[in-house]
């Protein structure tokens, strides 16, 4: 059984090699640039952990993990274009450093490269792996489309927002674990449980992310607090506040959304507190976390095998913030 | 043995059904719109013909053919963004009718959908099919990148242009045939020959396309003659003219390229004729066509089985124009 840190180092050893041919350099060099911007590589390591939960690590798990990380980077490259994002982790995005056409094509070929790794897996489970990977890829596209649609809508329901987060974020976390479980020879029932663990962990993580953007300690959070509020971003907090505020609070909230007063962040935070959105969000996060742990508990393997996943979950989603 | 027309009708029967789920409609409806713009569906039918060259049509061939056509449409959607093309077959392109973000995501999910069909094939050949499909998909991206690079370059060599055309256009035609041949149980040698037939047929077709844009009968050609010349597009003709013109002709050609005189098309056509680029192009086309037919001849099956492919090749690429 390996820790997240160890698996992460192992994965980096293979992944940090060049992932693309040398030519045409105008196509592949931007992709190598983008990959070296880095990231926590959570998803591929979840795949390796999903394998190790059930059996010794298979060499094929690294191919699947690589496919997952390349897929994830493909979505980032295209999302950055759609979001007009100039920077990612402080580095220029591809469409900013090069141009939109290059970024579109770089994303495309990154996705194809993901399939090259996945297709190289020699296993009786190949069809099953492909099926889950395809379904997940399509769901992530659906989630991104819903996210873009929501930007243009005045009202988004809690249910629709939840569905969007599930598709855009959670299914890939869930699928990463399950793809590893499949190659690890897990039973259908265990596969379902690890998938649900990932799905709920992803939701808990997103609630926490929304919460920290508003109420987090800027020192610990590492990014500007209140960014979502300034951008009028639909989040768990804003949607819940709009659904539960009384008439007077709702008017005040809408006034803040329709303007950019200098004290907007402080005002909205006060309204959130008045509506007890902060307590509600912490509770919601814990609900998802509890559900996740329940599914993990249901998995029929020695409990020692679950330790790395438990530790990772607790590292990703904290109970106390 | 079925004719192109018959297979084309058969393919249309399944392909003209909705290819995507109903929701989110903002993602899938643009894709259904794009697919009903239509096209000759040459590539998927080539796949069916590749199968029938060696064995009775397998149901899996339709899945592969659908994957190929969806892949082709994915490239069209993204190329249209990169080329700023407002129309395709007289209909608005997705990025024009909707917006760039929608078009990027529609293309992405079209590609994933292609893989869903390919992955559904239950066959001992699945890994082989995936390998060829992946390689081809990556090559097509490389070809598109080279094409975009050439637009910014003053000089493009004949060899580089040929490589670009091979990657952007020919490999998909070749792979369509070979994917069909694989599912039809063809030997490795026969697979190689049908691939080379497709590769050379694709090159012959592109030379003809470049030729017709300059020297074609506008009535028959169905689009504006001289479009490539007006756009200074690098074509077989322009590149060969620049490589073979004498100093005086080269100066005149470059003057035309650097300006947009009202009689530009006529002047450039005259220069092409002076350099005998027209004769050269017809010869080049026939060279590729001869090579293609030689490869077809080498394929070890009863010659009656080759008739539909021969007829299609002669329909796509004419000897006399």
All domains of chain A, ordered by start, with CATH?
A: 1-186 (1.10.600.10), 188-321 (1.10.600.10)
Query: How far apart are the C-alpha atoms of B7 and B1, rounded to whole Å?
Result: 10
Which residues have CB under 8 Å from A39's CB, separation 6+? Answer: A89
What pLDDT was estimated at residue A80? 97
What pLDDT was estimated at residue B276? 96
Closest CA to A289 of A172, A196, A163, A151: A196
Instruction: From chain A, pick out residues whose CB is under 8 angstroms from the CB of B130.
Output: 115, 119
Nearest CB partner across the interface for B144, out of A82, A105, A142: A105
Asked if A78 and B113 come within 8 Å (Cβ–Cβ), the reply is: no
Instruction: Read off the pLDDT of each residue in B292-298 and give the average, rounded to a whole number.
Output: 98
- Smallest CA–CA separation between B174 and chain A, in Å? 19
Is the confidence at residue B200, as pLDDT, over 70? yes
Closest CA to A176 of A198, A207, A205: A198
Percent with pLDDT over 90 in chain A: 92
What pLDDT was estimated at residue B222? 64
Instruction: Tell me the per-residue pLDDT of A195-245, one tens digit each, with 9 for 90 and over.
Output: 999 999 999 999 999 999 999 887 776 667 898 999 899 999 999 999 999
Instruction: Tell me the per-residue pLDDT of A91-105, one tens digit each, with 9 for 90 and over.
Output: 999 999 999 999 999
Instruction: Tell me the per-residue pLDDT of B244-262, one tens digit each, with 9 for 90 and over.
Output: 999 999 999 999 999 999 9
Query: How far apart are the C-alpha atoms of A109 and A275, rounded to whole Å?
Result: 47
What pLDDT was estimated at residue A221? 62
CB B90 within 8 A of CB B38: no
- Smallest CA–CA separation between B80 and chain A, in Å? 10
Instruction: From chain A, pick out residues whose CB is under 8 angstroms from the CB of B105.
Output: 78, 82, 141, 144-145, 148
What pLDDT was estimated at residue B223? 67
State which residue of chain B sits closest to A81, comparing Cα positions: B101
Query: How far apart are the C-alpha atoms of B110 and B69, rounded to whole Å?
Result: 10
Number of other CB atoms surrounding residue A209 within 10 Å: 18
Q: List residues of chain A with CB under 8 Å from any CB of chain B.
A: 24, 26-27, 74, 78, 81-82, 100-102, 104-105, 107-109, 111-113, 115-116, 119, 122, 126-127, 130-131, 134-135, 137-138, 141-142, 144-146, 148-149
CB A170 within 8 A of CB A45: no
- Sign of the Cα torsion A189, A194, A195, A199 reads positive
Nearest CB partner across the interface for A101, out of B74, B82, B122: B82
Helix (H, G, I), strand (E, B) or coil at B221: helix
CB A266 within 8 A of CB A256: no
* CB pairs A-B closer than 8 Å: 112
For residue B91, the surrounding DSSP H or E stretch is: strand B91-92
Around B278, how many Cα atoms within 13 Å sit in the side-chain half-sphere?
14
Is the confidence at residue B319, as pLDDT, over 90? no
Is the confidence at residue B321, as pLDDT, over 70? no
Query: How far apart are the C-alpha atoms of B184 and B181, rounded to whole Å?
Result: 5
Instruction: From chain A, pick out residues whose CB is under 8 angstroms from the CB of B24.
Output: 142, 145-146, 149
Closest CA to A27 of B234, B204, B149, B41: B149
What pLDDT was estimated at residue A222? 64
What pLDDT was estimated at residue A224? 72
Tokens of A318: 């904290």
Query: How far apart are the C-alpha atoms of B14 and B16, rounded to whole Å?
Result: 6
Which residues have CB under 8 Å from B307's CB, separation 6+? Answer: B1
Helix (H, G, I), strand (E, B) or coil at B31: helix
Number of other CB atoms surrounding residue B92 within 10 Å: 16
Tell me how many degrees the CA angle A125-A19-A101 measures, rounded to the nearest 5. Answer: 105
């Amino acid at each position: 059984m390996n820790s997240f840190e160890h698996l992460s180092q192992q994965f980096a050893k293979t992944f940090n090699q060049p992932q693309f041919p040398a030519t045409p350099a105008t196509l592949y060099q931007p992709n190598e640039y983008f990959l070296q911007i880095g990231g926590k590589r959570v998803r591929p390591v979840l795949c390796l952990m999903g394998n190790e939960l059930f059996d010794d690590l298979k060499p094929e798990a690294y191919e699947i993990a690589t496919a997952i990380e390349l897929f994830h980077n493909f979505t980032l490259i295209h999302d950055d274009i759609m979001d007009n994002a100039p920077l990612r982790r402080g580095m220029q995005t591809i469409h900013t450093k090069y141009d939109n056409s290059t970024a579109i094509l770089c994303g495309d070929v990154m996705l194809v490269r993901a399939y090259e790794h996945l297709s190289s897996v020699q296993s009786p489970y190949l069809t099953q792996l492909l099926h889950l990977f395809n379904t997940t890829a399509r769901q992530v596209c659906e989630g991104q489309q819903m996210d873009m649609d929501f930007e243009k809508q005045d009202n988004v329901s809690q249910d629709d927002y939840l569905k969007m987060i599930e598709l855009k974020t959670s299914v890939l976390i869930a699928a990463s674990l399950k793809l590893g479980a499949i190659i690890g020879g897990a039973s259908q029932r265990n596969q379902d449980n690890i998938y649900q663990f990932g799905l709920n962990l992803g939701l808990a993580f997103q609630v926490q992310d929304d919460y920290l953007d508003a109420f987090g300690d800027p020192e610990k959070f590492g990014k500007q607090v209140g960014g979502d509020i300034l951008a009028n971003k639909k989040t768990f907090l804003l949607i819940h506040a709009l659904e539960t505020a009384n008439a007077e609070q709702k008017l005040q909230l809408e006034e803040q959304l329709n303007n950019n007063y200098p004290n907007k962040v402080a005002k909205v935070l006060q309204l959130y507190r008045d509506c007890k959105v902060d307590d509600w969000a912490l509770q919601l996060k814990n609900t998802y976390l509890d559900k996740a742990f329940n599914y993990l508990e249901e998995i029929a393997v020695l409990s020692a095998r679950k330790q790395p996943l438990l530790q990772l979950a607790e590292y990703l989603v904290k109970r106390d913030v």
